[in-house]
Structure formats: structure tokens, C-alpha cells
């Protein structure tokens, strides 16, 4: 990490300055010991920098937290951090080292990123005019350089003493974040408190990462909640990492600790390009016999019984390179699975229904999870691989009242507007509206495949015959016939003529029927075919007005 203390001469000068205790002969001794004269102002600044970090360690380590600089050391490749504005907002003569945020640039896996880390040891990490100006300047540079922006958040919010000046800086950061949205990847690491209006800075970014301990996000804290409603609730129960990763969906990943959270940020960036005008990185990959043997396992993972659950992540790991799959929103809306992987060394986004959780049904939360991830992939040029096994949208008054119409439509909007390569495989069942929205040919997918046992229809056989033949069942019951035997007969006939994928093949909605072990090859070949797909502007509208 580049630092004012990184120079051996400055380090030695600071040590001697401390030993000399500001004696009258200090300056001459410093000049004699260093390879070249070091100005007293530089020594003073270096002393402030050293003391500030010692103070930060004392305060943060007592809480089980790292300092802002220690976090940057973990995030960035060793020795690549170049700080800008180190003493901006400080008062060197007055003994104040700088503002409550550190800004600069560094590398992650050899690729340049912009970073800022709030320093809770300085005025509680609060944001005032100096901090806001530093962050906005960094973001302007990141946009000019077209590189990702990573924020490490640990702050008490707006600095009350600065009033509207502090609030104004949040407004500027909001606007800059919106300007950067979809242009460069933006990741927020919440490693401390984030409260009030400050929560909307990370909320506007692509990914939010929290930890089990110390991470908190809420618009109004426990004291305000108690005063306004009388409810007594802890910070963790109100807005801790577990709550936001499992219930609200605000957090996309829950780290066990700071190191785990930071490692996840580094991992995710390895799949994303530096900006929307660039292609994702490509990695070396060579197929081996082990991968071919793994592909054969696909035929054994999915049960023939369409009501029997299985873990779709097992399917995903048999398809992607080395079985490596990085989930996003793993603990939220678990009936859908989304995440990053590679096919033949090329990063892709994977979307799948999870039959292990509520049969892989689409509800309000799963819909938003899928929609947001597809939009992220489309913004940054990652092809989307969709694996379908769902009985449809979740029925019920609770879902209707929660906005399944509005929120379910987000999946449609995401897929219909996506311009990256879209490849879909129906693994077992795809019924009703869920079939349409989960990357169907009609919604805009480029290549669609189905496994031989797949079922595609408006409804499953049992539900369909209950509607189609309801009068026949009434008559059979009145005549004393075996209604269940008749229902089974009609269901078998419906499956033979309607539910199987043959009709979709004949209509061209499915491009090919493939055996399970062919899945990876079919996807890889499709991606090679679609590598030249280019975006095109369909009309001159400013932007769409999708369901929000």
C-alpha cells in the first residue's frame, strides 16, 4: 500500500523525531541521517499518519473490526494501493490527519479499481463536506477511467454539526452512483453501521455485502423506532446482516467475518468486466476426463417423479467449469438460484429454479431476485444460462396482496429487454406463466433446449384435467364410477398429447431435445454461436417504464 510512511527515510525520520522529542537539534540530525533532507512538514504529516492508524487500531480492534487501511490491504493486490487526497479535510498544523474517508485506486487480480473506505475512528466515520467531495472526486475519476467502484462502509451517517452541507454531499453521491449504475460495477461492503439516508448509497449499487457481526443497515435506528412506535428491538434484529441476507433481500452475501466478505467482493469482480463497454475476462480452461464423467451424472440427479425434490446446484456444478459456482442472494428467496460461473473459461450468469425449496415456485421475492440478477448480467455483458423446473407462480391471497403481478412482471421486463446471449434448458417441468418468463423463446431467448422427460404446458396434468373434465367427473360420480381411475386416465392422456415437449419442438419454441449429459456441450456450443451477438437500439425512447 502506497503511504506517506512507506519511505524508509521518512520512517527513520519519524522515529528519530519521537526520540528527540522535538529538540532544537532535530532538523540537523534528520538531514544527516537521511539520504536527502526531509522537511519538517513532511515529518509532521508522517507522524500524524502513524498516530492516526495507531488510534484506529486501538478503537477498531477492540470491537473486533479492522481499520479502514487494514481492510484495503485485504481487498487489493499487495502493494497496489495509490491513495489520493490523504490529508484533504485535515489540519496538519492543528494535529488532525485527515477526513473520515480514505480514497484511492488499486488492483484486484491485476485489474484497476477505485475504492473508498470510511474510517470510523475519525468522527465516527461520519460524512461531511470534505468526505463527500473526496468520494465524488474519486467517482468522477472512476467514470473517466471506466473502472469498478468499491465502497467500504463504516459510518455514523451524516455529520450533524455540518447540517445541510452534509446532506448535500449525500445527494451528490446518490447522483454519481446513479450515473455510474450499469456503466461500471459498483460493490458496497457494509462492515459497520450504515444508518439514515446513508443506506441509499449502497442500495443504489450492484451488490451489497454484509457480515454476521457488526454490519447494520436501517433508515431509522432502534431508539427512533422505540420513540415512534414503542417497539423495543436490537440493532441486529432491526437491520443486521442476517436480517438483510435472509428476509429483506437487501444484502446479496452474508460474510462470516470481514475477511470472508472482502474475499467475496474480490471473487465476484473476477467474473465482471471493468465497464459496460468491455467484455468479461476470459480464463484458460481445458476439458478433462473428470469433467466428462461429471456430465454423465446429470442423468442421475433429476428424479423421474416430477414431485420429488432435488438440489439444482448439483446440476449447475455438473455443467460449469470445475464445478465452481458463486451464488448471489443465496440466503434470500431460496426457491430461485442465481450466481456466476464459467463455461469454457467465459463468465456467465446462471438462473435456475430450486425444486428443493417449495418445488422451485416463483413468488414475489424469487421474482425480484431473478429479475435484478438478469439485469446485472445484461448490463455487464454476461450471457444468461437459465435452467427451468418450476410449477409456476405461487398462488394465494398473500402473494396477490404482496404484488405478485407487479413484482412478477419484473422477470418479464428483465428477460425481454436483455440483449446478451440467452440460453435456456428445461430440465423437468415448465408450467403456465413461469414457463414464459423463465427465458422462453417467446420472451427473447436465443437458444432453447429441453430434456426428454420435460413437461411444458399451461398446467400440470392433474390440475388441467380437473378443470377440463370437471363435468365428466361430476357425471361419473353420480353414475357410481371410479372417479380417481377416470382422473388418472385423463391425466395420462393429457401428458401424452399435451404436457410433453414435443408440441414445443414442433412449434419451434424448443430448438432441440437433448440428453442430460449433453447439456454442457449444448450450452457451450450455443455460446460460441452467439459470441458475435450485438446490441441494437429498437427505437428512440429515452428509457422504458418497467415495474418497480
**Sequence-distant (≥ 6) Cβ neighbours of residue 540 within 8 angstroms:** none
Residues 406 and 383: their CA atoms lie apart, in Å, by 26
Read off φ and ψ for residue 54, nearest 5 degrees.
Answer: -65, -40
Options 151, 434, 464, 522, the catalytic residue:
434
Residues 235 and 340: their CA atoms lie apart, in Å, by 32
Q: Which grid cell is 42?
A: 513532511
Clarify whether 195 is annotated catalytic. no
Clarify whether 64 is annotated catalytic. no
> Helix/strand/coil (H, E, C) string of 266-319?
HHHHCCCCCCCCCCCCCCCCCCCHHHHHHHHCHHHHCCCCCCCCCCHHHHHHHH
Residues 422 and 415: their CA atoms lie apart, in Å, by 9
Clarify whether 197 is annotated catalytic. yes
Clarify whether 434 is annotated catalytic. yes
Residues 509 and 496: their CA atoms lie apart, in Å, by 18
Q: Which grid cell is 264?
A: 467475496
Options 182, 197, 463, 546, the catalytic residue:
197
From 289, 314, 339, 285, select the one nearest 516 (Cα to Cα).
314
Tell me the CA distances in angstroms from 478 to 133, 468, 472, one per residue in order.
80, 18, 10
From 436, 412, 425, 394, select the one nearest 312 (Cα to Cα).
425
348: left (phi over 0), alpha (psi -120 to 50) or beta: beta
Options 182, 433, 463, 546, the catalytic residue:
433
Options 66, 196, 240, 241, the catalytic residue:
196
- Cβ density class 408-446: b for 16+ within 10 Å, e for less: bbbbbbbbeebebbbbbbbbbbbbbbbbebbbbbebebb
- HSE at residue 527, side-chain half, CA atoms within 13 A, is 22
Q: Which grid cell is 490?
A: 385423463
Angle (deg, nearest 10), helices 483-494 and 470-478: 150
How far, rounded to the nearest angstrom, does the alpha carbon of residue 463 sit from its chain's CA centroid?
37
Q: Which grid cell is 544?
A: 422504458
- Please identify every residue annotated as catalytic: 196-197, 433-434
Amino acid at each position: 500500500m502506497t503511504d506517506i510512511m512507506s519511505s524508509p527515510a521518512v520512517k527513520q525520520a519519524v522515529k528519530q523525531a519521537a526520540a528527540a522529542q522535538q529538540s532544537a537539534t532535530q532538523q540537523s540530525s534528520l538531514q544527516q541521517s537521511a539520504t536527502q533532507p526531509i522537511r519538517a512538514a513532511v515529518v509532521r504529516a508522517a507522524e500524524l499518519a502513524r498516530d492516526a492508524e495507531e488510534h484506529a487500531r486501538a478503537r477498531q480492534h477492540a470491537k473486533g473490526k479492522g481499520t479502514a487501511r487494514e481492510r484495503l490491504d485485504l481487498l487489493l493486490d499487495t502493494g497496489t494501493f495509490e491513495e489520493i487526497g490523504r490529508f484533504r479535510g485535515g489540519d496538519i498544523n492543528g494535529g488532525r490527519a485527515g477526513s473520515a474517508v480514505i480514497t484511492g485506486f488499486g488492483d484486484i487480480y491485476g485489474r484497476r479499481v477505485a475504492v473508498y473506505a470510511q474510517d470510523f475512528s475519525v468522527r465516527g466515520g461520519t460524512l461531511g463536506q470534505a468526505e463527500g467531495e473526496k468520494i465524488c472526486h474519486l467517482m468522477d475519476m472512476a467514470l473517466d477511467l471506466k473502472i469498478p467502484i468499491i465502497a467500504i462502509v463504516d459510518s455514523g451517517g451524516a455529520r450533524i454539526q455540518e447540517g445541510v452541507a452534509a446532506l448535500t454531499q449525500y445527494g451528490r453521491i446518490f447522483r454519481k452512483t446513479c450515473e455510474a449504475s450499469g456503466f461500471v460495477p459498483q460493490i458496497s461492503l457494509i462492515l459497520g453501521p450504515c444508518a439514515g439516508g446513508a443506506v441509499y448509497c449502497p442500495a443504489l449499487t450492484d451488490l451489497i455485502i454484509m457480515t454476521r457481526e457488526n454490519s447494520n443497515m436501517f433508515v431509522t435506528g432502534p431508539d427512533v423506532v422505540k420513540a415512534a412506535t414503542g417497539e423495543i428491538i436490537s440493532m441486529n434484529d432491526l437491520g443486521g446482516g442476517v436480517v438483510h441476507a435472509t428476509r429483506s433481500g437487501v444484502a446479496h452475501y452474508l460474510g462470516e467475518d470481514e475477511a470472508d466478505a472482502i474475499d467475496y467482493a474480490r471473487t465476484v469482480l473476477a467474473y465482471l468486466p471493468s465497464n459496460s463497454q468491455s467484455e468479461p475476462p476470459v480464463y484458460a480452461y481445458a476439458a478433462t476426463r473428470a469433467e466428462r464423467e461429471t456430465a454423465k451424472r446429470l442423468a442421475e440427479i433429476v428424479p423421474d417423479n416430477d414431485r420429488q425434490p432435488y438440489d439444482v446446484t448439483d446440476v449447475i456444478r455438473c455443467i460449469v467449469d470445475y464445478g465452481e459456482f458463486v451464488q448471489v442472494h443465496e440466503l434470500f428467496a431460496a426457491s430461485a438460484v442465481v450466481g456466476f460461473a464459467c463455461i469454457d473459461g467465459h463468465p456467465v450468469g446462471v438462473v435456475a429454479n430450486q425444486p428443493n425449496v417449495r418445488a422451485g415456485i416463483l413468488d414475489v421475492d424469487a421474482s425480484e431476485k431473478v429479475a435484478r440478477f438478469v439485469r446485472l448480467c445484461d448490463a455487464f455483458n454476461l450471457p444468461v444460462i437459465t435452467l427451468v423446473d418450476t410449477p409456476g407462480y405461487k398462488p394465494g391471497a398473500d402473494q396477490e396482496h404482496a404484488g405478485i403481478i407487479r413484482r412478477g412482471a419484473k422477470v418479464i421486463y428483465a428477460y425481454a429487454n436483455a440483449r446478451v446471449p440467452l440460453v435456456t434448458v428445461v430440465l423437468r417441468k415448465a408450467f403456465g406463466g413461469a414457463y414464459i418468463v423463465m427465458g422462453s423463446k417467446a420472451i427473447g431467448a436465443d437458444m432453447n433446449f429441453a430434456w426428454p422427460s420435460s413437461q411444458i404446458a399451461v398446467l400440470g396434468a392433474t390440475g388441467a384435467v380437473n378443470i377440463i373434465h370437471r363435468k365428466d367427473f361430476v357425471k361419473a360420480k353420480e353414475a357410481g364410477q371410479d372417479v380417481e381411475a377416470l382422473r388418472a386416465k385423463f391425466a395420462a392422456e393429457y401428458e401424452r398429447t399435451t404436457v410433453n415437449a414435443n408440441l414445443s419442438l414442433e412449434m419451434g419454441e424448443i430448438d432441440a431435445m437433448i440428453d442430460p449429459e449433453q447439456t454442457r456441450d449444448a450450452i457451450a456450443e450455443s455460446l460460441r454461436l452467439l459470441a458475435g451477438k450485438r446490441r441494437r437500439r429498437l427505437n428512440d425512447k429515452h428509457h422504458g417504464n418497467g415495474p418497480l
